[in-house]
């Protein structure tokens, strides 16, 4: 594990964008695992600003998660977030960008389809992650076991409290989501974990405390190639 400390969000964004762009230069047809939330926004902005430097024409992306009941017509969905913050600014083929289908009535079929899709793509070359205040990665919430494959989760109070602010009407925030499980994250060639200074204490617990499903990100201690970039408090 490589742990890089930076002074502010801007520096974190630049370094993260450098690593993501380097991955695409190194392997133009790579599979990027992407994240949503506030933390990666700066990195996406920086990638968008440098969109003449690197072509995403052959890149495929799989996102970590999506809310149940939201699709591209909802400004609060993660499919909308990705289009607005990254995909519409780079030359990626939108047909090569994937998120779990939060609209499918048969949720377990949607989960199985996403697991199968990631396998069909041959796994993930570089997985970008944020970390929740409760240690979640994707929407893998604290649990009694590490959930390995795509599954539907009931979002924890900590996650609902943290994310409701992103909704025009917080009461509209779905209480359930579909998330990638730990297997594709742990099988990713590389993982890039970003954390702002407000995540300092949970990040220390995840990186140096016991490996436990109660702190889902702690599983990354067992990953062969993790880069952590965090903003010093």
Enumerate residues 133-172 that contact ligand PGA by CB under 6 A.
136
DSSP E strand boundaries for the chain: 2-6, 31-34, 60-63, 65-67, 97-98, 126-129, 151-154, 176-179, 190-195, 226-231
**Of the two residues 110 and 194, which places its CB atom closer to ligand PGA in the complex?**
194
CB-CB contact of 230 with 194 (8 Å): yes
Q: What is the CA radius of gyration of the chain?
A: 16
CB-CB contact of 31 with 60 (8 Å): yes
Q: Site mask, ligand PGA, residues 120-139, x = CB under 6 A?
A: ----------xxx---x---
Enumerate residues 57-116 that contact ligand PGA by CB under 6 A.
none
Q: Site mask, ligand PGA, residues 202-221, x = CB under 6 A?
A: --------------------
CB-CB contact of 102 with 139 (8 Å): no
Q: Report how many residues bind ligand PGA under the rule CB under 6 A.
A: 7
**Of the two residues 118 and 194, which places its CB atom closer to ligand PGA in the complex?**
194
**Of the two residues 20 and 54, which places its CB atom closer to ligand PGA in the complex?**
20
* Binding-site ranges for ligand PGA (CB under 6 A): 37-39, 130-132, 136
């Amino acid at each position: 594990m490589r742990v890089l400390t930076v002074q502010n969000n801007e520096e974190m964004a630049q370094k993260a964008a450098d690593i993501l762009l380097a991955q695409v230069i190194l392997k133009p047809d790579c599979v990027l695992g992407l994240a949503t939330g506030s933390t990666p926004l700066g990195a996406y902005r920086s990638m968008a600003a440098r969109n003449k430097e690197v072509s995403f024409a052959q890149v495929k992306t799989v996102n970590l998660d999506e809310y149940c009941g939201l699709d591209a017509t909802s400004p609060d969905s993660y499919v909308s977030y990705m289009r607005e913050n990254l995909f519409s600014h780079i030359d990626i083929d939108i047909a090569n960008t994937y998120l779990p289908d939060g609209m499918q009535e048969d949720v377990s079929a949607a989960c199985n389809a996403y697991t199968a899709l990631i396998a069909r793509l041959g796994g993930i070359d570089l997985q970008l992650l944020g970390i929740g205040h409760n240690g979640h990665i994707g929407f893998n919430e604290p649990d009694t076991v590490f959930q390995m494959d795509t599954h539907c989760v009931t979002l924890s109070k900590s996650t609902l409290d943290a994310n409701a602010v992103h909704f025009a009407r917080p009461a509209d925030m779905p209480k359930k989501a579909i998330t990638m499980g730990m297997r594709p994250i742990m099988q990713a060639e590389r993982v890039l974990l970003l954390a702002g200074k407000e995540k300092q204490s949970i990040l220390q617990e995840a990186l140096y405390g016991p490996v436990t499903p109660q702190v889902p990100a702690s599983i990354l201690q067992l990953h062969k190639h993790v880069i952590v970039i965090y903003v010093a408090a």
